[in-house]
Amino acid sequence: MMPASSTTLALVSGYSTAHEPGIHAFTFDETTGLLTQHGIFSGIRNPSFLSLHPNGHWLYSVSETNQSIDGESGQVFSMLLSRTPFSISTQNSNPTDGDWPCHTQLDNTGQWLFIANYGSGSVSVFPVEADGSLAKKSAHVQHAGSGMNSERQKGPHAHSVTLTPDNKFALVADLGLDKIVIYRFDPSNGNLSLHAETQTKPGSGPRHLVFHKNSRWLYVTNELDNTVTFYEYEKTKGTLFLKQSLTSLPAFPSESSLADIHISPSGKRLYASNRGHNSLTLYNIGIDGFLTLIANYPCGGNWPRNFAISPNGRFMLVVNQYSHEVCVLPVDDDGALGLPLSRMTVPGASCVILA
């Protein structure tokens, strides 16, 4: 007997003008892996990264713009998501006080939203109101300095904010400084205070972070040198200890840069996306947290910027920015990825989340 079909909502954003559809909704069948069009939303310029509140109804998006190039600095939007019938409506927006905001992250209580401003190398925190809208920011921190890469690291570039599982610290991956900057987070007032800095390898360019479900192991993609780094998180001191660094590519790769990183629901496998090489790297996670590189698999398109793994672990949804699509790849019992089962067009595809 075939298992009963289970569906969820997949939200995919892309680089677009405010007058074009920038957020696309699809019905994702977790049994077959197929996508079907569900709805679209316009009104935000370059909604490059999304976060969904745990209640499933409050949606947040950055507007990734730059004052000198686009004529306006970055913004963050609060939206209401209705499923039946489908609709997305804007509640309010706030300036992020920075250029090219590229990442959003809710804290573990769902009461605070963090924004990383890549262009200006800063981080802003916004209170989430009782109706899901965003109040004026509660904190703003500005980084300073540069890295060894004269083209990509002339100044700070905050690329993501990741809350520790205990919600005590906010970890900011700064690609421009080759640092993971650790801030103590006060959830009573949304304030940030500098706690520590972890220096990464010069020229590595840390980008995205993911914690293992055991709350102790942290894995980081380094965009510029195509490595994945494993740290142990010491929660009583709020510090990171370097354990391992591995390449994500074959010995002689084409020009490429690492992007996203996720762990399988089982906690036994880790994946990272390689833009340029156009692949997903599979690692096995050992009982001690150390990684073993298993293989690289085609991403199904061009420039895999972001991806999500289905809750049952059987599928991976990959957004390929330059081929303007979201692809669904099957995942076998060993973690290997197959050829696309389904693909849908999303101009400038940037981010995918499963609602």
Decide if pLDDT at 223 tops 80.
yes
Q: Which one-letter amino acid corresponds to residue 247?
A: T
What is the C-alpha to C-alpha distance for residues 64 and 68, in angstroms, rounded to an integer? 13
Whether residue 2 is predicted with pLDDT greater than 70 in this model: the reply is no
pLDDT tens-digit readout, 31-82: 999 999 999 999 999 999 999 999 999 999 999 999 888 888 999 999 999 9
What's the average model confidence in pLDDT over 182-197? 98
How far, in whole angstroms, is CA 34 from its chain's centroid?
A: 23
Peptide bond into 85 cis (omega under 30): yes
**Strand pairing report for 7-14 and 349-354:** antiparallel
What is the biggest distance separating any 2 CA atoms in the chain, rounded to whole angstroms? 61
Q: With bands split at pLDDT 50, 70 and 90, how would you rate the model's confidence at 1?
A: very low
Structural domains in the chain plus CATH codes: 26-36+257-355 (2.130.10.10), 48-247 (2.130.10.10)
Q: Which residue has the higher pLDDT, 137 or 2?
A: 137
Residue 321 φ then ψ, to 5°: -60, -45
Share of the chain above pLDDT 90, in %: 93
Picking from 348, 309, 311, 312, the residue whose alpha carbon sits closest to that of residue 329 is 309
Output the six-digit token pair for 172: 């900011």
Enumerate the β-bridge partners of residue 207. none
Instruction: Give the per-residue pLDDT at 69.
Output: 86
- 30 with 83: CB under 8 angstroms? no
Helix (H) or strand (E) holding 280: strand 279-285
Res 330: pLDDT:
98
Q: What is the strand order of the sheet 217-222 is part of?
A: 206-211, 217-222, 227-234, 239-247
Rounded to 5 degrees, φ, ψ at 335 are 90, -5
CA dihedral 95, 99, 104, 106 (to 10 degrees): -50
What are the C-alpha distances in Å from 9 to residues 12, 24, 201?
A: 10, 10, 39
Name the residue type at position 354. L
Whether pTM > 0.85 for this model: the answer is yes
Mean pLDDT of 97-119: 98
